[in-house]
């Protein structure tokens, strides 16, 4: 699985003008299930996200996790993280999981974060979403559960 973490002061996602998820300080997590990903990989990625030390400590160093600061996660599905841009001008997405698998792993990932003690809000899988955020830093981190070429 792939995830793009953005440290935020606040973030929200809307679908058709209604808010489906909104958080204060924490992480906006854009997540994509890749072909052949499993629940185990979703759980491992959730643990890495929860423990990633990208929040400032008292000395101003990035040394605290979202768990440490009592933050929340806004998890938004984003299959475009699977984009292959190695040839041509139009990205390919054939390495993304099929929609039914992608949704199952997206929900499993979100639940795994909850199981670790994090408040989690969500976007709506497969919907056309409007995501707004105030990036803090800015700090943006890329994670992938597999080494891919």
Active site residues per annotation? 78-80
Q: How close are the terminal C-alpha atoms of the chain, in Å?
A: 14
Residue 72 Cα distances to 50, 84, 88, 99, angstroms:
10, 30, 38, 26
The 10 Å CB-count burial string (b at 16+, else e) for 107-116 is ebbbbbbeeb
């Amino acid at each position: 699985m792939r995830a793009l973490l953005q440290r935020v002061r606040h973030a929200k996602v809307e679908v058709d003008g209604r808010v489906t998820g909104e958080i204060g300080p924490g992480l906006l997590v854009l997540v994509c299930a890749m072909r052949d990903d499993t629940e185990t990989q979703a759980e491992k990625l959730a643990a890495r996200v929860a423990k990633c030390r990208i929040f400032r400590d008292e000395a101003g160093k990035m040394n605290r996790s979202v768990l440490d600061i009592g933050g929340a996660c806004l998890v938004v599905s984003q299959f475009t993280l699977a984009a292959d841009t190695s040839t041509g001008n139009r990205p390919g997405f054939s390495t993304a999981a099929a929609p039914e698998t992608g949704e199952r792993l997206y929900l499993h990932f979100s639940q795994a974060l909850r199981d670790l003690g994090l408040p989690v809000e969500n976007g709506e899988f497969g919907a056309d979403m409007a995501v707004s955020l105030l990036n803090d830093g800015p700090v943006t981190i890329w994670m992938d559960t597999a080494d891919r070429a």
